Amino acid sequence: MQAKTYLALAALTIASLAGSAHAQNPPKPVPVDKPAFDPKTATPSQLPLPSPYDKMLAIEVAAGDKKVDWGAIYDAIAIDVDANSMPDKTSAALALGVKIADGLVAVKSQDVEKLNACATQIESLAKKLGAQDSDLRRARLVRENANKGKWLDVFLELGFLQSDIMKILARPENANMRRLIIATGWMQGARHVSHYLGGHYSPEISNVLREPLLVGALDKDVKALPPEILTHPRAKGLPEATGAALPIVTIGLDQPVSPENIAKLKALADKCIKTALDQ
Amino acid sequence: MKKNLLLAAAVLAVATLGTSTLRADPAEAEDDAYRMAKRYVDKGFALAPTDNSGVCGGGQAVSFYIPVNKGLDYVFLVGSDRAAQDVDLYVYDDVGQLILDDRRPGRLAGVQFRSSYNGTAVVYMVMSRATGLASWYVLVGRRGVPKTGIPAPTPLDYNRTVPNNPAAPDEPAASSTAEDPVGP
């Protein structure tokens, strides 16, 4: 009887350990010659958060030794917003996109005061959209790193903070707010970059505005918003703005954007953001 | 007899503990990505999440856009949880040409390249193998570099033979080969 029990116990143990080993230690690496991947099988994901940061970095690389004064551009373009004056979530989402773009320019300008102002406004707007203090714990790290002058860490923590806020917007009741944030974020980024390009035109550098695929998708996303949002007084300018921006950024790989088109982009983005912030 | 049964139950509990933890764990995937990110920040990259993350099963793939600018060095990193066994990454330019991929076995995937164009990269995260549902989380890093041409794109050079090693990938091997991945 006892021998039988021990036998059963041993068999059970071996079987369990075998299962565990398979799960914990993945199979040996397989050769790299995997079957060809078919991109058509992939599920498209949502559009990424807007960021003028890469364009600013590319401008700096192209400008070489010439220092770009991002602080002055921030002063000319950034707009302070008061979350308490936002009448509804649509207005808060539109303003949040603006402040996310401004925040990235503040990081690039390495200005603690500007960055802290943006972080505070981003927090207030996120709360208006339903964020709790626990969702915004990264804001403290953003400020801490800014105070230490660790700007790449600021960029990282600000990115995670934005990502945490976007998770809140993944809730069904906030689904369309995400599109609004991306749209005004892109427009505000376009204002910053076109302001710089307008004052320091170079055919080569102007190509940083090239973005046909993303702006095409953004335009479709905006136009797919429900009528109650598209008729909102602050959101109504978005479809016209993304539609007018698309042909300006739809250019060849090395094709410049003309000074006239840069001015046109700046003007349409100005109008769109002015409407979005009810100014 | 009762003692033996208790012992058997205890052994079973210990043996199955490992399998019970292998469930989709978005927080673990995010932590994994964050650890990798900190290491690349030290190398001068400005890293941030792309807000592309999720849960999927083996054989499933997700595509997403990542804006890129000419002359910048990029790293695309995928963090995942322990349910992920093999994650692959494919990067295409915005006219549908493959820039590079990382199809090596393992649950970490990453690539580095210098963009030769302004526009959008179309990225595919492929969960080639997973135990049930697995979580993934994508980070992108960018770094401005002086104008020195376009080196060949390269998968990140890290030990992919230890798939469950959470350590961040090492600095990619430098390449001096000038190559335009986009073409004329």
Q: Does A134 touch chain B (CB under 8 A)?
A: no
B62, B78 Cβ separation under 8 angstroms: no
A107, A115 Cβ separation under 8 angstroms: yes
Tally of structural domains, chain B:
1
* pLDDT at residue A8, as a whole number: 55
In a domain, B168, yes or no: no
Disruptive mutation site among B7, B118, B136 for chain A (greatest number of A CBs within 10 Å):
B118
Of B11, B61, B107, the CB nearest to A41: B61
A45, B62 Cβ separation under 8 angstroms: yes
Strands B98-102 and B133-144: unpaired
Q: Does A12 touch chain B (CB under 8 A)?
A: yes
Nearest CA to B163 among B44, B52, B22, B38? Answer: B22
B63, B112 Cβ separation under 8 angstroms: no
* pLDDT at residue B5, as a whole number: 61
Q: What is the mean pLDDT of chain B?
A: 76
Q: Could you tell me the CATH number of the domain that includes residue B148? A: 2.60.120.380
- The verdict on a CB contact (< 8 Å) between A208 and B70 is yes
User: Which residues on A lie below 8 Å from B19 (Cβ)?
Assistant: 19-20, 23-24
In a domain, B170, yes or no: no
A11-15, A137-141, B29-33, B44-48: least confidently modelled range: A11-15
Asked whether residue B63 carries a pLDDT value surpassing 60, the answer given is yes
A128, A86 Cβ separation under 8 angstroms: yes
* pLDDT at residue B159, as a whole number: 40
Reduced to 3 states (helix: H, G, I; strand: E, B; else coil), residue B60 is strand
* pLDDT at residue A229, as a whole number: 95
**B22-60, pLDDT tens digit by residue?**
678 888 988 888 888 888 888 899 999 887 888 999 999
Q: How far apart are CA B57 and CA B97, in angstroms?
A: 27
In a domain, B181, yes or no: no
In a domain, B53, yes or no: yes
- The verdict on a CB contact (< 8 Å) between A5 and B1 is yes
Q: What is the secondary structure of A161-176 as a DSSP string?
A: HHHHHHHHTTSGGGHH
B33, B137 Cβ separation under 8 angstroms: yes
In a domain, B167, yes or no: no
Name the residue range of residue B149's domain.
24-155
Confidence bin at A52 (pLDDT 50/70/90): very high
A60, A174 Cβ separation under 8 angstroms: no
In a domain, B7, yes or no: no
A104-108, A170-174, B118-122, B134-138: least confidently modelled range: A170-174
- Rounded to a whole number of angstroms, the distance from the CA of A177 to the nearest CA of chain B is 15
* Chain B 3-32, residues with CB within 8 Å of chain A CB atoms: 4, 7-8, 11-12, 15-19, 22
- The verdict on a CB contact (< 8 Å) between B54 and A45 is yes
* pLDDT at residue B169, as a whole number: 42
Q: In which region does residue B71 sit, left (phi positive, over 0), alpha (psi from -120 to 50) or beta (all else)?
A: left
In a domain, B80, yes or no: yes
* pLDDT at residue A46, as a whole number: 85
**A171-227, pLDDT tens digit by residue?**
777 779 999 999 999 999 999 999 999 999 999 999 999 999 999 999 999 999 999
- Which pTM was predicted? 0.81
User: Which residues on A lie below 8 Å from B62 (Cβ)?
Assistant: 42-45
Report the greatest alpha carbon distance in chain B. Answer: 78
Contacts of B24 (CB under 8 A, 6+ apart): B55, B81, B83, B132, B133, B134, B135
- The verdict on a CB contact (< 8 Å) between B104 and A32 is yes
Radius of gyration of chain B (CA): 19
**B143-171, pLDDT tens digit by residue?**
987 655 556 666 665 444 333 333 334 43
User: Which residues on B lie below 8 Å from A152 (Cβ)?
Assistant: 41, 44-47
Contacts of B44 (CB under 8 A, 6+ apart): A152, B143
Confidence bin at A89 (pLDDT 50/70/90): very high
Q: Does B88 touch chain A (CB under 8 A)?
A: yes
In a domain, B47, yes or no: yes
Q: How far apart are CA B161 and CA B32, in angstroms?
A: 17
**A225-269, pLDDT tens digit by residue?**
999 999 999 999 999 999 999 999 999 999 999 999 999 999 999
